[in-house]
Amino acid sequence: MKKLIVSLLLIGSIATLYAQRANVNRARNIARSENPNFAIARELITPALQDESTKNLANTWFVAGEIGFRENQRMETMRYLRPAEFDQRRQGQIVLGSLRFFIVADSLDQLPDDRGRVRPRHRRDIRRMVTEYYQHGSLVGYGAYLFERNDFAGAFNAFNAFISIPDLPAIEGSIPKDSTYHQIMFFAAISASNADKSHEAIRLFEKLTDKDYETMAVFELLYNEFLQLGDTVNYVRVLKEGMERFPGEPWFLQNLINHYIHSGQHETALKYVETAILSEPTFAQYHNIKGALHEQLGSEEQAEVSFRKALELDPDLTLALESLGRMHFRRALAIDDGVFGIRDLNLRQREQEKADNEFRLALPFFERLAELEPDEMIHKRLLRNLYYRLRMYDKFEAVSRELGMDE
């Protein structure tokens, strides 16, 4: 009885094996027919992709891929004959699925048989069909379609599938990586970034750094990805590499300076500012930054020289105007605070004159700031304070009215 049960089970498994293989053949024949029904072909192939008897056979996956390939050919024809009926999303899904089937089919096709021999049956056809996918750009069109609709994760998958094709074993280096390839890689990286897939974006941007395609933008975007991740070591590395590659482009140097300033490394920042001034000596902002760094490092005299140089190059540079104005204002306050402790009337008068002189030196800077930035109330408050200390009461009252202060 036991032998009978085993025999029946064996017969059943053999029947299942032949049934699934028959379904694979039927699916292939339907897809290749003059009037194919791709829906029925898929109904037949889907169980075979999961059944133990056929899921590890290269032919099963190859037929699944071929169904998509032939349906895509029909859709390409429809695109030109009946464009109103063309479905870009559907075509993209078909091609993407077909490509995945071909990749699995090729990997199974390279496995040795029972005798240890590797006898691939499908690689030539897989190479031909996948190459056609690459050349006709269906995946690129699908990616662009999704990108325009802000489906950045889907766009990345489509673009990434396209750029993976030249590296597939089945292709064997037969597709060159030209400027179009690098262009799509660039869009794949941007899609990944927009989809919050920073590591994927970084992987692709890193590959593009030496490919002569939008190289400066690549470095800038790569820096932003590392910045978003808080990866200081790498974003500083990218800024330095970008500065070396594009010595005439201040963006990298400026961001590097900002990094060292914000991280409190003022001496290092100052060295890079000196480099920036050597490359662009008439750029007032660099001299202003140099002044601010000297001020942070306690070198007030050098700071003042740099601020004045900045204003010499750009008389309306508000940051330099404010820095010099505050510098004189602080000096005046420091002197003024000590005046009341002086008992000698002559000495007190001389010190008061020194304080007033510093207040007078600060005045034109804040008057100009009030002209340039009339809505900035802090300038007017300081200006009001100066008018009062210098006993310029008419102007003091005028500014008070502008500030809405009762006297």
How is the chain split into domains, by residue range? 14-110+122-175
What is the C-alpha separation between 209 and 131, in angstroms, rounded? 26
Would you call 156 helix, strand, or coil by DSSP? helix
Q: Are 36 and 68 in contact (CB under 8 A)?
A: no
Model pTM score: 0.76
Q: Which of 400, 372, 369 is nearest to 384 (CA)?
A: 400
Q: How far is CA 12 from CA 22, 44, 154, in A?
A: 15, 19, 43
- Show the 3-state SS of 270-327: HHHHHHHHHHCCCCHHHHHHHHHHHHHCCCHHHHHHHHHHHHHHCCCCHHHHHHHHHH
Q: Of 186 and 114, which is predicted with more confidence?
A: 186
**Residue 206 burial (10 A CB sphere; 0-12, 13-18, 19+):** middle
Express each pLDDT in 239-287 by its tens digit: 999 988 988 788 898 899 999 999 999 999 999 999 889 888 999 989 9
Q: Are 365 and 317 in contact (CB under 8 A)?
A: no
Express each pLDDT in 60-107 by its tens digit: 999 999 999 999 998 888 888 887 778 899 999 999 999 999 999 999
Q: Please work out, in degrees rounded to the nearest 5, the angle formed at the alpha carbon of residue 394 by the alpha carbons of 388 and 395.
A: 65
Would you call 18 helix, strand, or coil by DSSP? helix
Express each pLDDT in 155-207 by its tens digit: 999 999 999 999 999 998 899 999 999 999 999 999 999 999 999 999 999 99
Crossing angle of the two packed helices 377-389 and 393-403, in degrees rounded to 10? 150
pLDDT value of residue 352? 84
What is the C-alpha separation between 23 and 118, in angstroms, rounded? 26
**Tokens matching residue 298:** 């306690």
Q: Please work out, in degrees rounded to the nearest 5, the angle formed at the alpha carbon of residue 261 by the alpha carbons of 364 and 380.
A: 25
Q: Are 154 and 107 in contact (CB under 8 A)?
A: no
Please enumerate in sequence order all residues whose Cβ is within 8 A of that of 203, keeping only pairs 6 or more positions apart, or say none. Answer: none
Q: What is the mean pLDDT of residues 197-221?
A: 95
Neighbours of 358 (CB within 10 A): 20
Reported as a pLDDT band with limits 50, 70 and 90, residue 7 is very low
Residue 339 has pLDDT above 80, yes or no: no
Residue 29 has pLDDT above 80, yes or no: yes
